[in-house]
Amino acid sequence: MPKVIPPAPDPDEQYFWDGVAGGELLLRRCAGCGRLQHPPSPMCPQCGSVDWTTQQASGRGTVHSWIVSRHPTDPDDAARVVALIDLEEGVRLVSNLTDVDAADVANEMAVEVTFREIDGTRLPQFVPAGAQQ
């Protein structure tokens, strides 16, 4: 049984997963006021507009907060580092940190996005800045 449940995006999220499939981290920008938003919602919380464009994120950010997570039904599986990432663009998103030991993770650690295939699902993951080859 796969450990990753593939996303089932609604129309407001489809752009994000299309970007992931193409190796891009996309954000929504309100066409009315220019506010970036993640996660997406049908209406801009700032101006109420329902018109959106997308913007490619730099993929660079810092760790705001993080935890070490173990799967509740498979406690012997490897632990994951789940982090809240502050992107350079000013939005936050939740993702996993990879290619780093949990003991080396720290708040405000510089990270960058990478895209990994996990159980047949392509996902954005973050690695320490400069760690990608």
pLDDT tens for 72-123 read 777 778 889 999 999 999 999 999 999 999 999 999 999 999 999 998 999 9
H or E element in which residue 67 lies: strand 60-69
* Euclidean distance between CA atoms 76 and 38, whole angstroms: 33
pTM: 0.90
Sequence ranges of the domains in the chain: 11-56, 58-133
* Euclidean distance between CA atoms 29 and 93, whole angstroms: 15
H helices present in the chain, as ranges? 14-21
With cut-offs at 50, 70 and 90, classify the pLDDT of residue 133: low
- Could you please state the CATH topology (level 3) that the domain comprising 58-133 is classified under: OB fold (Dihydrolipoamide Acetyltransferase, E2P) (2.40.50)
Measuring CA to CA, which residue among 107, 108, 85 is closest to residue 38? 85
Count the neighbouring beta carbons within 10 Å of the beta carbon of residue 117: 9
Q: Could you give phi then psi for residue 72, rounded to 5 degrees?
A: -65, -30
Q: Could you give phi then psi for residue 118, rounded to 5 degrees?
A: -130, 120
